[in-house]
Structures are given as C-alpha cells and as structure tokens.
Chains A and B, each alone.
Chain A
Amino acid sequence: MDDLGERGGKPLPTDPEPAPAKHSRREFLTKAAGVAIGLPAAGALAGSAAAAPWAGLRSGAKPFDGVTLQFAKAPFGTDEKDVIAKLLKPFEDKTGAKVVHSVVPWNVEGATYATNYAGPNPFDVSYQTSTDLTGLGSKGVLEVLNTSKWLDAPSFKGTKGKFIPNTIKKSTYKGKLYGLPCIIGGTVIYYNKDLLAKAGVTKLPTNEGELAAAAQKVQKLGGGVWGHIVPLSNKDFTWYFLYHGLHNRGVDIISKDQSKITFSTRQAVSALQFYADLVNKWKVSPPVGQYDREAGVSLFKAGRVGFLHDEPLRLAVFRKEKLPFKWDFMAPVGANGKRTIFSTTGHWVMASKGKNKNAAWELVKFLSSPAFANEFGAHYGWAPVRSDVNTSKGDPMVTRVNKYVLSSWDGLPTGPRMAQLTDVYGQAIEAAASGKSSVQKALAKAQKDGTSILKS
C-alpha cells in the first residue's frame, strides 16, 4: 500500500507527539521504496510520469524534501489551524514536504479561490464543498482525480474501495471527479428534554406531522418559548437545512442528468409548504429575519426552543457549555415514509496548475486517511466517507450522528451551477416562509430563474 494514510491504521494519539511505532521512518521508507518500485510499474500501464520523482529516491531521503505545498481551507472552528498543524506534522516529517496553511474565511471563500486559482501559483491543495467543486472544476482549475494517475491508479484501488460509493457518485459530474470526498456533515434536530416533558411531549416525532404537533405543544407553553427553529434566511443557507425534505419525497432541485430544473414539482411544493406552515400557519417557528441562525442557537442554549434544527458541530459546544437543562438530538424527521439526512460533501482538491502535483496527491491521500480524518472528523463532529475512518473515538453521541448519517445520507448532486441554484432555492424558501409569496409562486419563480441559469 502506498497510501500514506494507512500507515498507522488507527487514530492519531491525542498527545502532541505521534507514537513512533505507528509512523516509523523505517516503515515509511519501506512504503516509499514500494512506491518507487510500484509506481513505475503502474506508470507503464497508465503512461504515468508520476513515478519519476520516486524512482530517484535514495535510501534515507525524504521523497518531497524541499517541497512547499500551499494548502487552503475555510475553517470549521477558530482552532482549526492548530488542529491541522498538529495532524499534518507526521506527514511533513515523513515526506519532507512543508505545508503552508492559509485560512480562507468562509465569507470571502469564493473571491479568494477565484483570484488565487486565476494566478500562476494556486493553492496546491484546498477544501471545496460540492456546491462549488464542479463550478471551479469545470473551469479547468482543478485536477480531474478519477484518472489512472491518481484515484484510479492500481496502487490506490484498495483505498478507493473503502469510500462510501454514493459519495464518489454524488461528487462526479459528467464522468469527472474534481475532488476526493473527505467528510459529510448532515443535520440533526436538538431538543430540550425539559421543555418537551413540560409540554407533555412523550414521544419523539419521527415525521413532519408529528414534529408540527409536538412543536405546537411546546409553543403553547408561552413565555417567549418557540416550538421549532430552523434557519430560514438565505444568508443562513436555509436551503441546506430544508433539502432533506426534497429527498424524502424522492425529488431534487435538478434532474439526474442535470438538464432540467425541478423546483416546482408537486413534491417540492409539499416539502417547502411544511416549513412555511411552521411559521405562517402553526406559528411555532419565528418569522424570517427575527432571529438569524446564531440567535436561534442562543435561544436554544437559553432554554427557549423545543426543537432546534442545526448541524452536528453544535454537539461539542453544547456539551462544553453544560447547558442548564437536559437535551439530546435526533435525526431530522422524515416524510413520505422516508427519513434521509442531507449535507453537502467536503472534498480535498488539487490545483491543475500546481507545480508539485505528486506531493499534493500524497497530501490529499494523507488528509483522506484515518491518520488525519479520524481525529479531524471527531474534533468537528463530521461523519466519515470511508469505511476505515472512524470519527467517533468511542463517543456515543458522535457514534449516533455517524450512524444516522451513514445509514440515510443523501447529498447534493455536484454541478457547475449548483452554487447559484441553491441560492435561488434559498430565495424561494425565504419568500415562502416569510409569507411574501405563496409556496407555489415562490417555487415557480425559482423554476424560471433556475432554468435561465442552466441555459447561461
């Protein structure tokens, strides 16, 4: 195996010094030598030039001594740079490559990557979600990974088999995969056990009807308590939290071959109608604009929300802050007999203009491997995309999140216009949930706008 990530096969230890037995120089060199021999052989089949740097390895030499890799990522937390630096140290020690990490704030992500990839020295490796992945990839700035040189190399076959098939499939657009899936997020519904008990909710809701009924009971408690909160503003990426409703009804915002927009199907109308009703009909969710996403979370922490629909990354925060009430979480409720969990997929990508692609590929493989992904996923509460990655570290809550996600995940199909289409869906949700227009009208407008976008 030349997959650096499988050197250890177990999660990184939590102490700052990596256990030498798991990442010994000898073991690495054995693998490097294996690569040096193995890759030219694969190269003969694949016409790969990738073997060249490895072929010249001297005994004791680090394969990428003197190579500096530019690595960029929008952060999951303020501590992410430190977390990544710690987890990348074994990679740097073993390969000799130096990884320079640039933190790209989420709010300037698009502008930063657009200008960076337009330049002559793009980030060698970066993180992209399925929303932006193919938008960038189809412009030719990202390396196509499903080629015999990288993902389909014989040496990677064993590792490739460990990916959850649906993740690779969802991230592939017209036969091209521009990034290696690394994490899936999902959403969960946190609930305040004390409020639910007080309101007489004895059974956790499993479908939309039951959720509405339970939220109404909580709402009746009064005193500024809200039955249910989910982000409903486009600026809070509301589409992300409501998307599972489409999948539960067997539809999406775009057809499978991505030739038609499907915003205004009967099922899509029904999916959005439920959330519009929570606000306008049952009045168990606050009006659009009254509380943004963070304010909604603050209300939950203050014990004023029965059900809070958010991401699993709040788990660590809620536990750390020791909320003054009993709480737990569950999978988002189902509809139409289906109960899926939605999220975009995170990917590690390589720049097509990168000057050190072999080293970049090694970094991508390392980032995808258990040596990195176990600890990284566990730290931020993400679910893994590989069967050999375990992000729970034995934590029962994270184990449960992973179980939910891995058993019922249905992600965003990637495509060059997905960022714009999800924005259009967000605007439709905002308009319908605020009562500015009916669900049908809002989605009809989205259908029209989406069709124009697809044609552009």
Chain B
Amino acid sequence: MSAEETEAAWNRLTLSPDQFRRASSRYRRRRGSAAYLFILPYFIPFLAFLVVPVFWSIWLSFNKGGILDSPHFVGLQNWREIAGDTELTGSIKNTAIYAVEAILLVFTLALLLALLLNRYRKGSNVFKLALYVPLLAPAVLVGLIWQFVTNYDFGLFNLILTSLGFGRVNIFGNGTLALLTIVFAEVWRGLGFWTLYFLASLQSVPEELLDAARVDGAKGVQRFRRVTIPMLRPMLLFAAVIAIIANFQVFDTVYVLTQGGPYQSTSTLVWFIWKRLFQFQQTGQGYAAAVLLLGIILVLTAISFWLLGSRRRHERAA
C-alpha cells in the first residue's frame, strides 16, 4: 500500500475537526442528558416545592391577597406595615434570643455528652438510644411533658423548688422564664441528635494526633482545646449553620406551650407569620415576614460559611 493509499485509509477512519467537534458534542449531550435524567426526580420537586414557592412568596409580599382572593400589587405597603409592627420587632428579638440560648446550650451539653460517650463506650448504646428518643416525640407530647414539668401546683420544677425551701414560680406568667421553657424543651428534644452528631465528629479526630499531643505532655483539657476543637471546627460550623436554620424556624413548641404569650414574650418569627397568614388573613404581611425570615437565615448562613472559609484560608496561608 502506497503512502497515499495509507493516508486515504487513515483519513477514512479518522474524523475531520468539524466531524470531531460534532461527535464530541453529541457524546457530551448524551452523557449530560443521562446525568440530568438521574437528577430529575430530585430537581422537579425541588423546583415545584421550593424554588417556585420562594419566588411566588417574594412576589406575594408586594401584593394584598393571594390565597383566598386574587393578589393585587401594593408595592411596599406590606413591608411598611410590618416594619411598624411592634409584634414583629419583638418576634425577631425573641427568636434571636431563643436561637442563641438554645444553640449554645444544646451544643455545650451535646459536646459534653459526646465526649463522655466517646470515652466510656461500654453500654453507651443504651444512653444513645435514651438520648435520641425525645427527638421522636411529637410536639404535642413534648408540650404536655413540659406542661407537667412547669405546672405551678404539681410541676417537677416547682416541686424541686418547694422541697428546697423556695417559693413556687409562675413560669408562664414571666416572659423570660416562658421563653427559657421553650429553650429547654427544644434542647431536650434536640440533644440526642446533636450528641450523636458530635460523637461521630469526635470519632473522626485522628487518634495519632491525640497520641502525639499526649507524648508531648498535653493534659486532657489542653488536648481538647488544642487538638479536638480545631479538628472539630468545620463540623461545628456546619452544625451551627444547620442549628441556626432550624432554630430560627421554631414554631410547634411555641404553639403547644405558650402561643406567643405572655404578652408576646415568646412570639417568634414563624409564629408571627402563621398568625398573619392563617389567623388574620393578612397574607401580604405574612409573606413579607416570611421573606424577611428567609433573608435573615441566608445572611446568617452566609456569615457562617464565610467564617468556615476564612478559617480554611487562614490555614492554607499558614
């Protein structure tokens, strides 16, 4: 076979640059479409039940009506109305106080319990189960349990106080105590989840690092501060993001235990939204407050991620 014939045969077998471009794009499309098909079962509900409602809510926050009657555009009126509503400002304040207290308390307790369970593993499954059970309890049951704990006459808390020689406390007559009760109820409920989360995180800390610190003479607290906590930092920040999102949406315990009282001291953002949307048919105000909540959560999440990123940047620079 001559060189020309070989060249011609080779050309017949290979693709021209144009043909290659078309073929490769066909291949990518085929591969891409298969991937899109795989994500479709998730993407359609995500679009239908999250993206569309979010944009629809944003649109309705500039309208009056929208659920029972057709919406009509009112510009910023809903936003002006909620901005002047003292119940909303109170609800934001209560939600922030609640979230800070609940997150700090549950993280501290969960981390302590996780450390104990990590150290004493014998029989720990029973404790894990016991800690996790409250999470499975419905909100109504949690409410009932906490009503028994806080009851003025025969509640556990007041029984302890009286047995110690103190007077009884009217928990639901005091705004601060009522909010603290919500905090305790939610901490009690979430403790099992966060304990298991931190336990899993603790078990991912390399033993060699702890051993090296031990060899270097680091004591228990020093090892915890200098090795465990830095290693847990990404997990802690992620946990903080999840906890912020969850705690800013607290509703069911408020609904069951206090319904926002006394004098709105346990009124939270979602409680405010629920009342505007479903009790008062002030849908525009309800949507505006819902969009505000979304904004707050997005900002807090962004700050958390920025903190996470800045730490990584700092580590890389070092």
Contacts and interface: CB of A to CB of B under 8 A. Distances in A.
A452 B65 CA distance: 18
A391 interface: no
Given A114-B68, A135-B280, A290-B173, A452 B84 contact: yes
B65 A139 contact: yes
A419 B280 contact: yes
Contacts of B259: 234-235
A234 B261 contact: yes
Interface string B267-282: 0000000110111111
Contact of B279 (A291, A419, A456): A419
A434 interface: yes
B68 A434 contact: no
A19 interface: no
Interface string B166-191: 00001111110010000000000000
B248 to A, nearest CB: 21
Contacts of A141: 68-69
B173 A452 contact: no
In the A-B complex, the 7 residue pairs with the closest CB atoms: A289-B173, A289-B172, A235-B259, A139-B68, A111-B278, A110-B278, A420-B280
Given A233-B261, A417-B280, 17 more contacts: A110-B278, A110-B279, A117-B68, A139-B65, A139-B68, A139-B69, A139-B281, A233-B172, A234-B260, A287-B170, A289-B172, A289-B178, A420-B282, A430-B263, A436-B175, A449-B85, A452-B85
Contacts of B261: 233-235, 289, 430
Contacts of A431: 263
Contacts of B173: 287-290, 434
B94 interface: no
B81 A291 contact: no
Nearest to B285: A456
B234 interface: no
20 contacts: A110-B279, A110-B281, A111-B274, A111-B278, A114-B277, A135-B281, A136-B68, A233-B261, A288-B173, A291-B152, A419-B281, A420-B282, A423-B275, A423-B279, A434-B262, A436-B175, A452-B81, A452-B85, A456-B81, A456-B282
A135 B277 CA distance: 12
A290 B152 contact: yes
A118 interface: yes
A140 B262 contact: no
Contacts of B152: 290-291, 295
Interface in A325-342: none
Nearest to A455: B81
Contacts of B2: none
Nearest to A233: B261
Nearest to B276: A420
Given A111-B278, A140-B69, A291-B152, A235 B263 contact: no
Nearest to A234: B261
Contacts of A290: 152, 170, 172-173
A114 B278 contact: yes
A328 B93 CA distance: 47
Interface in B242-263: 255, 258-263
Contacts of A295: 151-152
Nearest to B80: A456
Interface string A284-303: 00011111100100000000
B86 interface: yes
B281 A427 contact: no
Interface string B11-24: 00000000000000
B118 interface: no
B68 A289 contact: no
A417 B152 CA distance: 35
Interface in A229-281: 233-235
B201 interface: no
